[in-house]
Structure 1
Amino acid sequence: MSDIKEKDNLPDWSAYRGVLVFVEQRAGTAKSVSWQLLGEGRKLADKLEAPLLAVAVGHGVGHLAQEAIYRGADVAYLCDDPVLKDYRTRPYSRVMLQLIEDAKPEIVLFGATATGRDLAGAIATHLPTGLTADTTALDVEPHPSRLLLASRPAFSEKMMATILCKQYRPQMATARAGVFEALPRDASRQGEIVRIDCPLREEDVATQVLDFLEESGHVNLEEAEIIVAGGRGLGGPEAFALLKALADALGGVVGASRAAVDAGWIGHEHQVGQTGQTVRPKLYFAIGISGAVQHTVGMANAETIVAINKDESAPIFQLAHYGIVGDLFKIVPAITEEIRARRGLAAERSFEAKASESA
């Protein structure tokens, strides 16, 4: 791939520079993890004194390339073609492989989503290079090594392992959603948008996407702005009905700790934590959750955390912005009713205001 230095017998990767972030999208809407990775990628690129690159792949996704500039990228590559309308491994991986060969980024980052994991694995196999999956922390060593320090939980989530890719470039990783913070959108930022061609035609692709079927009862914790989560303190599956009522009143979704999921009270798709999902909502209710580290690492980045627990010494209160000590079976319904009442009053006032304007 590259020449070998005679002096230290290590590959010469001097031609590889920059951090590249894959902007994942569906139907023209970017996944939030893409902007989060651009925020983290900006830090890595600045440490390396290298450009931050982004790539938007799809059909009708030109706005995402511009948005990537607003979100911190210096250069945004755009591959817009009808063949790329829906994600398929072969055409997307061929676009990425060609871009990596031409642009030579030293680091490439993907969201740890179904799409990101599939695409990153296919690319790493073809290059070949190393790939660290499901990272929760990223850093770099400066010159001369310029190594990516990709950390992730290991040994049944009991410790963190930092993985290096010393012999190959680019260094690649997928990262969990909700771990990193997106930069504020800055519409005044200037950057370069570079259009690239799709190397395949439709007849070159063996698969077709016929339709998308939404899973019944699917919960999207990753994108949720409000999460109402319950743990062992609920005492059984029936209590999740109280949480669902509160979540519905707030316009949020229901989450859970591993203890509640392992007990069979609610499905794994609701689990927040090291072995579940990492989330970054605006509001997080931790109800009947003690605050074990396995759970808190998955929700510690929430903007506002409200804890409800009968044990005043529960560790969750050390993390919460607001804490209520008491019986959740009395507190949660009271909060729900108050929210419903306030929303009803707000809706009534809105109706009266509109009626007054029409008059």
Structure 2
Amino acid sequence: MSKTILVFAERREGALRRVALEALGAAKRLAGKDGTVHAVLACFGGAADSAAELIARGADVVHIADDPSLEHYVPEAYIAVLGAAMSAVRPDALLLGHTASGRELAPRVAVAHSAGHIADVTAIEVAGDGSDVAFVRPLYAGKAFERRSFLPGHPWVITVRPNNLPPAELCDSGERGGSVAVLAYTAPPLLTAVRGIVRRTRGQLDLAEADVIVSGGRGVRSAAGFEPLHELAAAFGGTVGASRAACDAGYCDYALQIGQTGKVVTPQLYIACGISGAIQHLAGMSQSRTIVAINKDSDAPIFGIADYGIVGDLFEIVPLLKAEVLRTKVTG
């Protein structure tokens, strides 16, 4: 069964976020062989490269809303863009990333268009001719999963958790084509004005989309104690996270916090350094593909979910790991 699917192609600093490509891959699967995949870009200039990449990865039509009100994320403006795209395309489903903006936009669009809404999807199960679709999402901080489906008769709004679904692959250059359309968009009255953006995380990768995360807890002992973690993360090409205890102690900014009251991450590799493993922290990282725990306390709860555990001083072990990673890169 073919469908028309719309994807919100979220960008960050002028480039497509990886979760946008993951949503595009899911859209292609949901649309079916004879379906149509649309993408919508909200921007102020510089959309040509993003539109070309979306088409190269399978979008049939890219709708561009280009306006000064869209230079920075402002909810009222972006909701208006998605509303205009929904009216122009009239899709069977809208897919967004389960990011800070996606979590805000999705329920508002769903209410405005009488659509069903399923959030934080980590897997999509399509059976038969595509008429039977189930969406898998975690419950109880990842301790259980549920499969949910939509009732017929209304469009769907779905947010997909970053780093869980495969991104859309590049198509052969001669295999298919796509088109770009200008979206009819009028900026609404804005209740928020963005005067500037201050980055407080050393320009590092987005935690939700990182393949490798080196995370520190109270055992790091100080802000300076995070430096070896940054060095190890850089060796892996990853990024640094933290437990709430480390943030509360002032060792790092709350933007790095992972856990129930922070960010939820699912990297390929998660290295927990000096983190005891409180349930609130496990809620944010327990679905990581491989978990390595480093802690002096052999009874720390983090070892209960770790794939590999190292009992010892992180300030001795982390430099050794970094040296080994760098040596492997040189000899490999």
3-state SS, counterpart of residue 208 of structure 2: coil
Per the alignment, residue 285 of structure 1 pairs with 271
- Could you tell me which of 235, 241, 244 is aligned with 2:227? 244
Q: Which residue does the alignment assign to 2:91?
A: 105
Answering whether residue 37 of structure 2 is matched by residue 52 of structure 1, we say yes
| Runs (5+) with no aligned partner, structure 2 | none
Give yes or no for contact 2:200–2:253 (8 Å, CA) kept in 1. Answer: no
Distance 1:57 1:241 in 2: 40
Q: Which runs of 5+ in 1 are unaligned?
A: 1-13, 347-359
* One-letter amino acid of the structure 1 residue matched with residue 8 of structure 2: F
Which residue of 1 is the match for residue 200 of structure 2? 216
Mapped partners of 2:258, 2:319: distance in 1: 23
| 1:152, distance to aligned residue in structure 2 (A) | 2.0
Match of residue 62, structure 1, among 48, 58, 81: 48
**Which residues in structure 2 correspond to 1:137-216 (within 5 Å)?**
137-143=123-129, 146=131, 148-155=133-140, 157-186=142-171, 188=173, 190-200=176-186, 202=187, 204-207=188-191, 209-216=193-200
TM superposition shift of 1:227? 1.9
- 2: distance between equivalents of 1:245 and 1:325? 17
Residue pairs, 1:1-359, within 5 angstroms: 17-46=3-32, 49-59=34-44, 60-143=46-129, 146=131, 148-155=133-140, 157-186=142-171, 188=173, 190-200=176-186, 202=187, 204-207=188-191, 209-217=193-201, 220-224=206-210, 226-230=212-216, 236-238=219-221, 242-248=225-231, 250-251=233-234, 252-256=238-242, 269-272=255-258, 276-280=263-267, 284-287=270-273, 294=283, 297-300=286-289, 308=294, 314=303, 318=307, 325-329=310-314, 330-336=316-322
Q: Which amino acid aligns with 1:280?
A: P
CA-to-aligned-CA distance 1:168-199 (integer Å, 9 cap, x gap): 42111112212222234457263312313333
Q: How far apart are 1:106 and its partner, in Å?
A: 1.3
1:98 is paired with a residue whose SS is helix
Give CA deviations for 1:291-343 in whole Å, capped at 9, x if unaligned.
9985664321x7xx66656769956664xxxx574524332233346779x7x
CA distance in 2, matches of 1:123, 1:40: 19
CA distance in 1: counterparts of 2:288 and 2:322, whole angstroms: 22
Query: How big is each residue's C-alpha offset from its partner over 1:17-37, in whole Å with a ceiling of 9 and x where there is no partner?
Result: 222211011342222211121
Q: Deviations over 1:108-160 (max 9, x none)?
A: 1111122212222221121121212222222345558x354233223454422
Residues 100/217 of structure 1: CA separation in 2 closer, same or farther (3 Å cut): closer
Greater shift in the superposed pair: 70-79 or 260-269? 260-269
Change in Cα spacing, 1:258 to 1:208, as seen in structure 2 (3 Å) is closer
Q: Is the 8 A contact 1:236 1:265 kept in 2?
A: no
How many Å apart are 1:41 and its aligned residue?
Answer: 2.5
Q: TM-score, normalised by structure 2?
A: 0.74
Distance 1:86 1:314, change over 3 A: closer
CA distance in 2, matches of 1:82, 1:67: 23
Q: For the Cα contact (< 8 Å) 2:213–2:267, is it kept in 1?
A: no
Aligned length: 314
3-state SS of 1:178 partner: coil
Q: 1:258 touches 1:272 (CA, 8 Å); kept in 2?
A: yes
Provide the TM-score with structure 1 as the length reference. Answer: 0.69
**CA spacing shift, 1:43–1:121, aligned 2, 3 Å:** same
- How far apart are residue 205 of structure 1 and its match? 2.5
Instruction: For 2:123, give the aligned amino acid.
Output: A
- Letter in structure 2 aligned against 1:107: A
Cα contact 1:257–1:295 (8 A) shared by 2:
no
- Provide closer, same or farther for how the CA distance between residues 241 and 338 of structure 1 changes in structure 2, counting only shifts above 3 A: farther
Residue-by-residue CA offset, 1:16-64 (whole Å, 9 max, x unaligned): 9222211011342222211121223333333x75233322222231221
Q: CA, structure 1 residues 339+106, in 2 after alignment: closer, same or farther (shift >3 Å)?
A: closer
Report how far residue 167 of structure 1 moved. 4.3
Tell me which structure has the larger Cα radius of gyration: 1
Distance (Å, rounded) in 1 between the aligned partners of 2:165 and 2:231: 27
